[in-house]
Amino acid sequence: MGRPERPVDPDAGPLQRFAYELRSLRGNGGSPSYRTMAQRTGLSVTALSRAASGERLASAAVVRAYAQACGADPDEWERRRQAVAEEAGPQGAEEGNSPYQGLTRFELGDRDLFFGRDRLVEDALKLVAAHRFAVLHGASGSGKSSLLRAGLLPRIDALIRERDRGMELRLITPGARPAATHERLLDAPPDGPERLVVVDQFEEIFTLCRDRADRRRFVDRLLAAGEPTSRLRVVVAVGGGFRARCAQYDGLAVALRHNSLAVRPMTRAELQEAVVKPATAAGLRVERELTARIVEEAADRPGALPMLSQALRETWRRRSSGVLTLAAYEAAGGIHGAIAAAAEEVYGCLSPAQAATARRLLLGLVTPGEGSAVTRRPVSRADLREWPDPELPVVLDRLARARLVILDEEHIELAHEALITHWPRLDAWIEANRERLREHRRLSEAARIWQERDRDPGNLYRGTHLAVADLLFGRDTDDDLTGRERAFLSASRVADRMERWTAGRTRRRMRSLAAAFTVVVVGALVAGQLAWQRSHAADQEHIRAAALKAAALAARTQPDDPRTAALLSVAAWRLAPSPVSRAALISALTEPEEDVLTGPEPGAGGRAFLADSGRTLLVAGAGTWSSWNVQAHRRTGSGPLPDGQVAEADPAGRTLLLTGGRRLWHLASGAGRPGASGRVLGFGADGHSYVVRDPGPRPGVRLRAVDGDRTLFEAAGDAYPVPSPDDRLVAVCRPDGPLEVWDTARDFGRPGAWGTFRAAGCSSATVVFGAGGARLAVATDTGVLVWDTATGRQLADLAGPAAQHLAFTPDGAFLAASGPDGVTVWRIASPRLPVLRRPVPGSPVTALAWDPVERTLRYLAGSAVHSLDLDAALASPWRDRPVDAVLLSPDGRLLAVSERTPAGYLLRLQETRSARVVAELPFPRRATGPAGAARPLLAFSPDSRSIAYGTTVASGPLPTVRFAVRDVSPTGRKSTSFDVTGPSEATARGIFLTARGQKLLVGWSTPAGSLVGQTWDTAHGIPSARADDLETLGRQPYHLALSADDTHLATGGAFGSVTVWDTEADIHPKATIPALPDIADCAACTRVTALAFSPDGTTLAIAYGSGALRLWDLALNLPLGGSPATSGDVIDSLAFGPDGYLYAAGPHVSVQAYPVGPAQAAARLCARAGRSLTVAEWRRYLPGVPYRRVCDGLRPDDGSP
C-alpha cells in the first residue's frame, strides 16, 4: 500500500482546513491513488499530494486538477481556494517567514537577517564620512541595493541617534525624469539639518531617462553636494557596466577615481555567514555539506548573490525538520537552476490566458539596450490599469508571491535582473521581440513627452517614425499599448493626413494615380514582409517556448516514466536546438533507468514480487493475483486467491506461499495444497524446490521438490539451505556456525574459504549462487563476499553497506546488490570500482533480477519495477592483464596502447572505432634507475598529427630520458628521437606536445617537491625554454586539457575539483567545477584521472578515480545529467570524436564509446524507447504545437502516422 498521509488538523488554520477538505473530497471520490490522479490530470504525483498536505496553499491550477480527478466541480473548488488565500493573507504564513530574500533585495527592516557584509559596510561608512559625494559601484548581482538598505542606511541612522545629530536620510531611484521628480529633495535649506540622499539604481539615468537635459541637470545637482557650503551629502550606487557612461561627466569621472568603493564579491567566510546565520536566526540549521557546496560554487563569482539567495529560499521551502539539506538544494536546482525552476513552477501553473498575460507583463518590465544588454524597466500602476486584461491581477499576485516581481504603491518591476539572464523562457521571449520592444520604449517616451507638454502637435510622430510605429503596432487595437500611447499614435495619424492634404492639392492630383499605386504596392510589400516576419518570429518563439517546456517536462516525468521523458527530451531538441534542450537530451541519455512499470497496490496482507528473471511482476493480495509483462506493460494473467497472508512467491512466478508458510498455491491451476509438515521458509533459485523447517524436539530443515514428494537435501539444527539453480549444490547458512557448501549428488561438503565465514543473516536473498552454481555470494555487515565453488577460492570482497538482496548476471561476471544506500553493481574481475552506484529514494528495494537476454537490471520498490539499461557497461570487453598506458588522440581517431614485452615497451597505434592496428613501434630506450620499475609517457599533439613517447621511472631520479616523436597523420611518415636532460636528481613526470609536434614540454619533479618545466625543439632535439614553477595552475595539476581553439585550459588532480582557465589574454581562472562527494574508504575515488574538451569547446568531460564519468556544460556551468554507467575500469584518457561520440580508454577496457552528439543521443534514446510519442501524448504535453514524429522510422504505440 502507499505510504499513509500525515494527519492534518482542520482547526490549525485555513490551510490545514482546506487540506482536510481536499482529503475528504478524495475519499468521497473513491480514494483514487495520487498516481491515478496524476494520470488523469497530467500533473505530477508530488504536486497533487502536496496540495492536501496542509503545508502551503497549492496553485489554482493544481486545485482544479485535484477536484477534476475526484469528479468534483473545478470552478467551485477554485473559488474555495481563493477564499482560503484571502483568509491566509497575501503571502501566507509559510512564505512570509523565509530568512532568505530570494531575488528581492533586502529592505530597511531586514537588517537582522543581513549577514556577511560587515567589513564592506564599515568601508562604505568611512567613504561617506570622508566625502560629501561618494560612489558605490559593482556588478549586477553584487548586492549594492541590499548593502544600502540593510547595511549602510541602518548603520548611519544608528549613529545619528547615538550622537543626537540632526540629519535627514532619503533613499531614491532616478526614474524616467530624475531632475524634475527629485528637484525639491535635492534642495537642502541652508538653515536646516544636513540631508543625506542615497541614489540607488543610478544607471536609470541612462536606461530610463531619455531627456539629456534632465539627466545633465540631475547629475549637476548631485555633484553640487561636493561644494563646501552645501548641506547635502550624496551616495550613488551604480552598476559596474555603466562606469564608462558615468565617466562622460567630468564630476562623475573624478568621483569614480577618488571617491568610490567597489562592492566586491563575498569572501568564503562572508559567504558562510550569509548562508548559515539567517537560518540560525530563524531557528533552523544548515547541513555542513550544503554550506561547503554553496561556498565552493559562489566564491569569487561576481553577481552570484541573487542566484545564491534564490537557491537558499527554494531550499528553505524544501527544508526537512528544520534542516536545510544538500538534497533539498539540489532538488531546487542549485545556484545555477533555482531561478529558472521557481519561475517555471509559477508559469507552469498558469492557464493559457494567464500565461499570455504573464508574457506581456514580463516583456513590459524590461528594456533592451544596445547590443545584447537588457535591463529592468519599472512600470507604473497607472499604466497597468489601462490594460484591458481581466487576468492581470491574478498574474501579478502569483508573480509577487513567488518574488519574481516587486510591487510597491506606485510601480511594478522585476525582482532582479538575474531573472532576465537565468530564466531561458524569458530570455527567449526577449530575443524574439527585441526590436519591437526597443521601438515600444521609444513610443512610450514620445507619448509621455507629448502628454506632459499639453499634447503639443509639434511632439507627434511624423514620417519614418510614424510609418515604423504603424507597421509594428497596428492601428488602434494593439493590446501592448497604453491608452496614452494609442491616443498619441491616433493624433499622429490625423496630423499626418492633414499635413499631407495641405501640402498642395494640384501636386496631389497630378501624382495621385502613381502615388496611390506606389503606396499600395510598397505598403503591401512592406506590410506583407513585416506580417511574415512577425508571424514567423511569433511561430519560432512559440516553438522555442514549447521546446523549453518539453525539456522541463522530461526532467519532471523521468522518475515515473523514463520512456516518455526520453522522448520528450528528443522532442525538445527536434523543436528548437539550444543549450537547454541539449542538456535535457544528454541528461536523459546518462540516466540508466529506461523504464518503470507501476503495478496495482497489493492491498492488506498482499505483496508484489519480481518473477521470471525480472520479466514478470506478480501482485498478490486482497483475494486476487495478477501478473504483468514488465517490458510490454501488459497484464498477462489474473485469478482469485483463498484467504490468507501472502508470504512468498517462487522465482518463476508459478507458485505462491500462503498462510504463514503452510500452504502452496499453484497459479496456473488455481488449486492449492498443504506443504510438507512444518513451515515453508522460502523457494529455491529456480522455483522447483522449497525449504521446510521441521517442528518437534529435533528441529531441522529440508529442501523439497515443488512437484512430487521428494526431499533433495536436509540438515539438522537452525540452518537455512539455499540451492543452486540446478539443485546440485546447497549452501547451508547457520547464524551460529560457518557457511557450508554441499554437493547433493555425492552427499559431501565441499571445502573452501567460506569455511571460516559466519553469515550475519540467512535468507535466499542474501545467499545466492551464480553462473549455474559456479559462484557463490553472501552478504556481510560490511559488503559482499564472492567465492568460486569449484576451487573454494575467494574471488572478491566487495565493500559497502549491508546488502539486503543479491543477484548475479547469467554468466556470473557481475553482481548487483541492494541496500540502504541504493543499488550497486560490481564486476567480479575488478571489484574495487563499482560499475554502477544508484541511490533509490522512497520505497525500499525488495527484489533484484537480471534479464537473461538483455543487459538489463530490474529492481522492485513498492509495486513499481524499475529497469536499468547497463548494456554499455556490461558489454565492454575486459582484459585481465592490464596494459601499462593508454592515450586517445584529441580527435578521437587513434588509440595509443603501451605494453611491456621482454624486449621493452611496445607502442601500438590502432583506430579507435575499428580497433585496426595502424602501427607497432618500439620505445626508443628502456628506462633504468634506482627504483627499477619503468613507466611509459605518451602525448599526442593537440592537432592529433603527432605523438611523443618515452619511458621514465616510477620513483627515484632519472634526469635523462630519450623520447621519440612520430607523425601519425594519414600521410605522415616522419619520425625523430632525442635525449632530454632535466635538473639533477629529477624525474620526468609528464609530457605535452604542441601542434604539429614542433615543441615538447617535459615536466620534472625534484627532490624538493617542486615541478620544473622544460620546452624542447623536437626538430633539433635542443631545449628552448624553462619554467621553474608549474604549480601556478593549481595544486599540482596531474591532468590538463586544452580547448581546440586554445582559449581555455582545464586542470584537475588529486583533490577532485577542476579549474577552467581563460587563456586568451592573460591566464586567469574562469570557472571551478566542484569535486564529486567523497566515497567512504576510497580516498583515490574522487581524484581526476582524465579531461577532454568537446570540439566546439562547450562541453568538458571529466573522469574520476572511481571510474565515474561526468559531462559539464561550460555555457550553462551545469552538469549534463548524471554519471553514465561505466565499465568499472579506471579511465585514463578521454576524447571527443567527430562522429558525436565520447571515447574513454583504460588499462582493462581499451575503448568505450558514449553517444554525446545530439543526433547520436537522440538516436540512442529513440532506440531505447522503441517508439515515438503518440498524438495523444503530444497533445497532452505540447498543446498548440503541430504534431511531429520525433523518432524517425519508429511508429507510436497507438498507430499514429
Residue 1196 exposed, middle or buried by CB count within 10 Å (0-12, 13-18, 19+): buried
Give the pLDDT confidence score for residue 948 in this predicted structure: 94
* % the chain with pLDDT above 90: 19
Check pLDDT > 90 for residue 1023. Answer: no
Residue 777 near residue 806 (C-beta atoms within 8 A): yes
Check pLDDT > 50 for residue 523. Answer: no
Residue 287 near residue 326 (C-beta atoms within 8 A): yes
Give the pLDDT confidence score for residue 90 in this predicted structure: 34
User: Of 328, 401, 547, 305, which Cα lies nearest the Cα of 92?
Assistant: 401
Rounded to the nearest 5 degrees, what angle is found at the Cα of 447, between the Cα atoms of 441 and 449?
A: 105
At residue 629 the predicted structure's pLDDT band, cuts being 50, 70 and 90, is very high
Residue 1111 near residue 1136 (C-beta atoms within 8 A): no
Encode pLDDT of 217-246 as tens digits. 999 999 988 888 888 999 999 987 788 788
Radius of gyration of the chain (CA): 36
At residue 1081 the predicted structure's pLDDT band, cuts being 50, 70 and 90, is low
d(CA 578, CA 565) in angstroms, rounded, equals 18
What is the DSSP pairing of strand 1058-1062 with strand 1048-1052? antiparallel
Residue 308 near residue 298 (C-beta atoms within 8 A): yes
d(CA 758, CA 765) in angstroms, rounded, equals 16
Average pLDDT over residues 792-796: 93
Give the pLDDT confidence score for residue 526 in this predicted structure: 35
- Residue 998: its H or E element: none
Average pLDDT over residues 385-404: 79
pTM greater than the 0.85 cutoff = no
Taking every pair of Cα atoms in the chain, the longest distance, rounded to a whole number of angstroms, is: 129
Give the pLDDT confidence score for residue 566 in this predicted structure: 92
d(CA 457, CA 465) in angstroms, rounded, equals 15
C-alpha torsion 235→238→240→241, nearest 10: -150
C-alpha torsion 762→763→764→770, nearest 10: -30
**Grid coordinates 513627452 are at which residue?**
449
Give the pLDDT confidence score for residue 135 in this predicted structure: 93
Check pLDDT > 50 for residue 521. Answer: no
Q: Among 180-194, 1013-1027, 1097-1111, 1143-1157, name the one with the lowest average pLDDT.
A: 1013-1027
- Most trustworthy range by pLDDT among 256-265, 462-471, 870-879, 1109-1118: 256-265
Average pLDDT over residues 1013-1023: 84
User: Of 14, 19, 72, 13, which Cα lies nearest the Cα of 41?
Assistant: 72
Encode pLDDT of 480-510 as tens digits. 787 788 888 888 877 776 666 655 444 444 4
**DSSP characters for 847-868?**
EEEE-SSSSEEEEEETTEEEEE
Cell readout for 1024 is: 628552448
Residue 1151 near residue 1145 (C-beta atoms within 8 A): yes
Residues 6+ apart with CB under 8 A from 241: 139, 140, 203, 373
- Residue 770: its H or E element: strand 767-770
Give the pLDDT confidence score for residue 376 in this predicted structure: 81
Q: Among 211-215, 630-634, 891-895, 971-975, name the one with the lowest average pLDDT.
A: 971-975
Residues 6+ apart with CB under 8 A from 11: 17
* % the chain with pLDDT above 70: 86
Give the pLDDT confidence score for residue 528 in this predicted structure: 42
d(CA 905, CA 338) in angstroms, rounded, equals 53
Instruction: Give the helix ranges, DSSP H, for 453-594.
Output: 463-473, 483-502, 505-557, 562-575, 579-590
Give how far Cα 407 sits from Cα of 174, 410, 413, Å: 17, 8, 7
**DSSP characters for 33-47?**
-HHHHHHHHSS-HHH
Q: Among 380-389, 482-491, 882-891, 1026-1035, name the one with the lowest average pLDDT.
A: 1026-1035
Check pLDDT > 80 for residue 95. Answer: no
C-alpha torsion 210→215→216→217, nearest 10: 130
At residue 928 the predicted structure's pLDDT band, cuts being 50, 70 and 90, is low
Average pLDDT over residues 845-866: 91
d(CA 215, CA 209) in angstroms, rounded, equals 7
Q: Among 163-167, 322-326, 631-635, 638-642, name the one with the lowest average pLDDT.
A: 163-167
Give the pLDDT confidence score for residue 710 in this predicted structure: 80
Residue 1163 exposed, middle or buried by CB count within 10 Å (0-12, 13-18, 19+): middle
d(CA 997, CA 985) in angstroms, rounded, equals 27
Encode pLDDT of 406-418 as tens digits. 776 677 888 777 7
Give the pLDDT confidence score for residue 333 in this predicted structure: 77
CA atoms within 13 A on the CB side of 1106: 23
How long a stretch of residues is the chain? 1201
Encode pLDDT of 427-457 as tens digits. 778 876 777 787 888 888 888 888 888 787 7
- Better-scored residue on pLDDT, 619 or 1052: 619
Instruction: Give the helix ranges, DSSP H, for 576-695.
Output: 579-590
Give how far Cα 524 sits from Cα of 98, 477, 664, 1072, Å: 57, 20, 84, 55
d(CA 933, CA 922) in angstroms, rounded, equals 18
291-307: b (≥16 Cβ within 10 Å) or e:
bebbbebbbebebbbbb
Instruction: Give the helix ranges, DSSP H, for 614-744.
Output: none
Average pLDDT over residues 1040-1050: 83
Check pLDDT > 70 for residue 471. Answer: no
Q: Among 183-187, 610-614, 866-870, name the one with the lowest average pLDDT.
A: 183-187
Residue 208 exposed, middle or buried by CB count within 10 Å (0-12, 13-18, 19+): buried
Average pLDDT over residues 148-177: 86
Cell readout for 1014 is: 622544460
In the chain, what are the domains?
10-96 (1.10.260), 117-262 (3.40.50.300), 349-503 (no CATH), 885-1163 (2.130.10.10)
Encode pLDDT of 44-81 as tens digits. 565 677 778 776 677 777 888 888 888 888 888 888 88
- Better-scored residue on pLDDT, 685 or 200: 200
Give the pLDDT confidence score for residue 1092 in this predicted structure: 94
Residue 279 near residue 324 (C-beta atoms within 8 A): yes
Q: Among 238-242, 939-943, 1025-1029, name the one with the lowest average pLDDT.
A: 1025-1029
Which own/partner contact pairs does 385-391 have at CB distance under 8 Å and 24+ positions apart?
386/482, 386/483, 386/484, 387/479, 387/482, 388/479, 389/357, 389/360, 389/479, 391/351, 391/353, 391/354, 391/357
User: Of 1148, 1121, 1079, which Cα lies nearest the Cα of 592?
Assistant: 1121
At residue 881 the predicted structure's pLDDT band, cuts being 50, 70 and 90, is confident
Average pLDDT over residues 1110-1123: 81
d(CA 662, CA 677) in angstroms, rounded, equals 8
Which phi and psi (to 5°) does residue 615 adopt?
A: -90, -10
Check pLDDT > 80 for residue 1001. Answer: yes
User: Of 130, 113, 126, which Cα lies nearest the Cα of 276?
Assistant: 113
Q: Among 173-182, 253-262, 833-842, name the one with the lowest average pLDDT.
A: 833-842
At residue 369 the predicted structure's pLDDT band, cuts being 50, 70 and 90, is low
Give the pLDDT confidence score for residue 1035 in this predicted structure: 41
Residue 537 near residue 429 (C-beta atoms within 8 A): no
Give the pLDDT confidence score for residue 94 in this predicted structure: 44
Q: How far is CA 447 from the centre of its chain?
A: 45
Give the pLDDT confidence score for residue 253 in this predicted structure: 87
Average pLDDT over residues 1106-1111: 88
Give how far Cα 489 sits from Cα of 278, 462, 474, 480, 969, Å: 52, 10, 10, 13, 67
Encode pLDDT of 1129-1168 as tens digits. 889 999 999 889 999 999 988 899 999 989 999 999 998 8
Encode pLDDT of 130-158 as tens digits. 999 999 998 777 888 899 989 999 999 88
Give the pLDDT confidence score for residue 1198 in this predicted structure: 47
Check pLDDT > 70 for residue 808. Answer: yes
**Grid coordinates 523521468 are at which residue?**
558
Encode pLDDT of 106-139 as tens digits. 888 888 889 999 999 999 999 999 999 999 998 7
Check pLDDT > 70 for residue 651. Answer: yes
- Most trustworthy range by pLDDT among 146-155, 932-941, 993-1002: 146-155
Give the pLDDT confidence score for residue 1032 in this predicted structure: 42
Encode pLDDT of 277-300 as tens digits. 999 988 889 999 999 988 888 876
Give the pLDDT confidence score for residue 277 in this predicted structure: 93
Residue 768 exposed, middle or buried by CB count within 10 Å (0-12, 13-18, 19+): buried
Give the pLDDT confidence score for residue 1121 in this predicted structure: 77
Average pLDDT over residues 727-748: 85
Which phi and psi (to 5°) does residue 961 adopt?
A: -130, 140
d(CA 806, CA 778) in angstroms, rounded, equals 8
- DSSP helix, strand, coil percent of the chain (3-state; round to 5): 35, 25, 40
